[in-house]
């Protein structure tokens, strides 16, 4: 397979099967001499993780790991991680895993030597300028799923354990210094996670594409990202060892996150509070929300998604696109409703308030109000 490349946009990416072998060199390039590998509990004992630790150890970089990371990582995980990081005298992180592991790792590197508390750096206005850039340690990111795209992002999503709200911590220096995209690391992903994470990438592309902000570069990336998901997610889902499909999905994930600098929208605005309160899988929740959100955004998106449909080889313009999404979800085992997803007795008023506070809300092409957003939640049950 010749899907190999060295990319410098939006950050240096070493792409290709087997390139995890370059992990020690990637640390050296990032200026890391004593890395802490940060991942989630589930991955900690898996072979891809222990092999990566061995590679680091063989290169004299030690084999330190922190894996006390919840599926929706919280401020408590950050606190525990910082204690380990600071006590161990580490000088950078290897962010290893899916969205949870990557986001927590990036947040640890960001907080490494800050003196202010975490929530002072929430992504509001120019709060990121409160951070001391010299107190941020370098990050080497290694995704093991294909969805979040956090490996090429400048933020981490952390749940406030008191308010159960997902908050974005943002700083330009949270962009990993080096990324290793090795599709072999994703072959062990179970079907449901392959589908959920892949559809997260798809939601990033669709929402970025529809967001009204001006960013034509994102527009192009989002469109091709959608095509890769449409062509290759069914193959990766059907056969997890299809390395070509896994590789294209890994690209689509990085493309989705690159594109959503343009903005996200109602899918993520709804999905974040549902995940924070009901602990549902992020990408799967997005997939459940997408059909209703497409209808919600019909008026401003009819033309633009009609053009996307034409590029994707989908007949019937906007309606064809919506029909495609419904069938795609069904073919990938995605529940039709939030109830089916496992959301029990939701407090719709509270979820609506959180959705309206979510930073993604501002990127939705239709203005979200309390009334129309609550109705949207109702339609999804």
Residues in contact with Fe ion by the rule CB under 5 A: 200
Q: How far is CA 29 from CA 32, 51, 176, 301, in A?
A: 8, 20, 12, 43
Q: Measured from the CB of residue 204, what is the shortest distance to Fe ion in angstroms?
A: 6
Q: Measured from the CB of residue 147, what is the shortest distance to Fe ion in angstroms?
A: 7
Which is nearer to Fe ion, 22 or 200 (by Cβ)?
200
Distance CA 260, CA 360 (A): 10
Count of CB atoms situated within 10 Å of the CB of 110? 28
Q: Which helix (H) or strand (E) element contains residue 190?
A: none
Q: Is 7 helix (H, G, I), strand (E, B) or coil?
A: strand
By beta carbon distance, the residue nearest Fe ion is 200
b or e along 267-302 (b: 16 or more beta carbons within 10 Å of the residue's beta carbon)? bbbbbbbbbbbbebbbbbbbbbbbbbbbebbeeebe
Which is nearer to Fe ion, 184 or 200 (by Cβ)?
200
Which is nearer to Fe ion, 200 or 358 (by Cβ)?
200
Closest CA relative to residue 246, chosen from 186, 287, 307: 186
Q: Is the peptide bond before 10 cis (omega within 30 degrees of 0)?
A: yes
Q: Would strands 178-181 and 165-170 be described as parallel, antiparallel, or unpaired?
A: unpaired
- What are the tokens at 119? 């929530």
Which is nearer to Fe ion, 91 or 200 (by Cβ)?
200
Distance CA 233, CA 145 (A): 12
Which is nearer to Fe ion, 11 or 100 (by Cβ)?
100
Which is nearer to Fe ion, 206 or 368 (by Cβ)?
206
Q: Measured from the CB of residue 115, what is the shortest distance to Fe ion in angstroms?
A: 31
Closest CA relative to residue 381, chosen from 274, 230, 297: 274
Is the separation of the CB atoms in 198 and 287 below 8 Å? no
Q: Measured from the CB of residue 24, what is the shortest distance to Fe ion in angstroms?
A: 31
Closest CA relative to residue 150, chosen from 283, 338, 239: 283
Which is nearer to Fe ion, 39 or 100 (by Cβ)?
100
Q: Where are the beta strands (DSSP E) in the chain?
A: 5-7, 13-15, 35-38, 64-66, 92-97, 139-143, 155-160, 165-170, 178-181
Q: Is 172 helix (H, G, I), strand (E, B) or coil?
A: helix
b or e along 63-84 (b: 16 or more beta carbons within 10 Å of the residue's beta carbon)? ebbbbebebbbbbebbebbbeb
Which is nearer to Fe ion, 52 or 280 (by Cβ)?
280
Q: Measured from the CB of residue 206, what is the shortest distance to Fe ion in angstroms?
A: 11
Which is nearer to Fe ion, 34 or 230 (by Cβ)?
230
Which is nearer to Fe ion, 55 or 355 (by Cβ)?
355
DSSP assignment of 9-38 equals: SSS-EEESTTGGGGHHHHHHHHT-SSEEEE
Q: Which residue in this structure is represented by tokens 């995940």? A: 275
Q: Measured from the CB of residue 254, what is the shortest distance to Fe ion in angstroms?
A: 13
Instruction: Find residue 97's DSSP bridge partners.
Output: 143
């Amino acid at each position: 397979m010749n899907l190999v490349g060295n990319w410098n946009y939006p950050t240096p990416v070493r792409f290709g099967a087997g390139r995890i072998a370059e992990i020690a060199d990637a640390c050296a390039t990032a200026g890391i001499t004593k890395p802490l590998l940060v991942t989630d509990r589930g991955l900690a004992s898996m072979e891809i993780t222990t092999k990566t630790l061995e590679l680091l150890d063989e290169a004299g970089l030690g084999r330190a790991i922190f894996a006390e990371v919840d599926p929706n990582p919280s401020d408590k995980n950050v606190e525990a991680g910082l204690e380990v990081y600071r006590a161990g005298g580490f000088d950078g992180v290897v962010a290893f895993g899916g969205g949870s592991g990557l986001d927590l790792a990036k947040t640890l590197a960001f907080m490494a030597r800050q003196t202010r508390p975490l929530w002072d750096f929430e992504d509001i206005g120019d709060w990121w300028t409160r951070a001391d850039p010299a107190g941020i340690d370098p990050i080497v990111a290694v995704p093991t799923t294909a969805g979040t795209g956090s490996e090429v992002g400048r933020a981490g999503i952390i749940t406030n354990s008191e308010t159960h709200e997902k908050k974005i911590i943002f700083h330009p220096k949270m962009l990993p210094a080096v990324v290793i995209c090795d599709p072999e690391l994703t072959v062990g992903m179970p079907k449901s996670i392959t589908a959920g994470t892949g559809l997260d990438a798809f939601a990033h592309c669709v929402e970025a594409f529809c967001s009204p902000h001006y960013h034509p570069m994102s527009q192009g990336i989002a469109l091709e990202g959608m095509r890769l998901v449409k062509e290759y997610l069914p193959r990766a889902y059907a056969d997890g060892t299809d390395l070509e499909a896994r590789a294209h999905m890994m690209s689509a994930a990085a493309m989705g996150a690159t594109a959503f600098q343009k903005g996200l929208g109602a899918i993520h605005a709804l999905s974040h509070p549902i995940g924070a309160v009901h602990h549902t899988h992020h990408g799967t929740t997005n997939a459940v929300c997408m059909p209703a959100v497409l209808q919600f955004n019909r008026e401003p998106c009819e033309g633009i998604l009609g053009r996307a449909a034409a590029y994707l080889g989908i007949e019937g313009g906007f309606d064809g696109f919506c029909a495609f999404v419904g069938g795609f979800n069904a073919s990938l085992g995605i529940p039709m409703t939030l109830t089916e997803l496992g959301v029990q007795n939701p407090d719709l008023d509270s979820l609506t308030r959180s959705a309206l506070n979510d930073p993604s809300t501002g990127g939705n092409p239709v203005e979200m109000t309390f009334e129309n957003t609550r109705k949207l939640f109702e339609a999804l049950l």
